[in-house]
């Protein structure tokens, strides 16, 4: 199995001191990495979770170990009314929201999600990843436009959206994450210059899905990647920190692939 670099401490020179960063779906994996990285950079962090309350508590403990404040909010992205109301609830509880990262998404590959029928998977992806991202982005943007300093939104797509991958699951994922990408570019034009909107497009990242593959498949993925390894959640967190920091103040509507060069 290809060894992974130790990326436990994301490297970002940009300070987020005095800012509030919201990360949806931060009870594990990429969301947890982004939340803890933002805290290390000086931000207070609000996270959301759907069912994994214990994981959310673990994330908050990691945030608080940095000396920053962490707060959690339950959220089911399929509940449109809850999604639309949450940004103001977070603002009222925690203060102005400077960055909102729509990381949460439906899992159609592992656990119960992997056992759904193709139609059930498609409906879930449309409700959660596309509709949920759109509703959260609209509500967050409305909130930020009323703030003196505006804000930043980062949405999650997939690097293979512009590359393609064979299979029913990739077909559905491409359609939905392609929708997220296109929506985000249009939203960026609608809310500029007060609010910036950018897109992260992770590739082969070593999360629960990767852990479930056999060694041969894992090696094949690493060998097909120009960087010769799987990505880590911290690789995605490093890119997220850049996109929500003042260092990227002239970037909006951009897609940042975090895939080791598989898609260029």
Per-residue confidence (pLDDT) for residue 213, from 0 to 100: 86
Per-residue confidence (pLDDT) for residue 233, from 0 to 100: 97
Per-residue confidence (pLDDT) for residue 10, from 0 to 100: 45
Q: In what order do the strands lie in the sheet with 255-258?
A: 70-74, 44-49, 20-23, 99-102, 151-156, 195-202, 255-258
Per-residue confidence (pLDDT) for residue 14, from 0 to 100: 59
DSSP 17: T
CB atoms within 10 A of CB 213: 14
Between helix 133-145 and helix 80-94 the angle, nearest 10°, is 40
- CB contact set of 217 (below 8 Å; sequence gap of 6+): none
pLDDT tens readout for residues 117-132:
999 999 999 999 999 9
Q: List domains and CATH numbers for the chain.
A: 20-258 (3.40.50.720)
The list of the chain residues with pLDDT below 50 reads: 1-13
pLDDT tens readout for residues 124-181:
999 999 999 999 999 999 999 999 999 999 999 999 999 999 999 999 999 999 999 9
């Amino acid at each position: 199995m290809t060894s992974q670099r130790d990326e436990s401490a994301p490297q970002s020179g940009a300070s987020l001191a005095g800012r509030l960063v919201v990360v949806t779906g931060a009870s594990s994996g990429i969301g947890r990495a982004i939340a803890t990285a933002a805290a290390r950079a000086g931000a207070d962090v609000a996270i959301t979770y759907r069912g994994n309350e214990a994981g959310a508590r673990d994330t908050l403990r990691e945030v608080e170990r940095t000396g920053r404040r962490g707060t959690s909010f339950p959220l089911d992205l399929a509940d449109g009314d809850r999604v639309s109301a949450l940004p103001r609830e977070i603002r009222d509880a925690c203060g102005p929201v400077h960055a909102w990262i729509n990381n949460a998404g439906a899992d159609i590959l592992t656990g119960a999600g992997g056992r759904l029928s193709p139609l059930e998977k498609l409906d879930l992806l449309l409700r959660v990843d596309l509709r949920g991202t759109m509703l959260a982005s609209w509500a967050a943007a409305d909130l930020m436009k009323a703030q003196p300093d505006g804000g930043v939104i980062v949405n999650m797509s997939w690097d293979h959206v512009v590359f393609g991958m064979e299979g029913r699951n990739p077909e559905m994922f491409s359609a939905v994450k392609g929708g997220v990408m296109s929506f985000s570019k249009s939203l960026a034009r609608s809310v500029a210059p007060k609010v910036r909107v950018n897109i992260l497009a992770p590739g082969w990242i070593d999360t629960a899905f990767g852990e479930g593959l056999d060694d041969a498949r894992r090696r094949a993925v690493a060998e097909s990647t120009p960087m010769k390894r799987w990505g880590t959640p911290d690789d995605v967190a490093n890119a997220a920190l850049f996109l929500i920091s003042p260092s990227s103040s002239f970037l909006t509507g951009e897609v940042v692939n975090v895939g080791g060069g598989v898609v260029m």
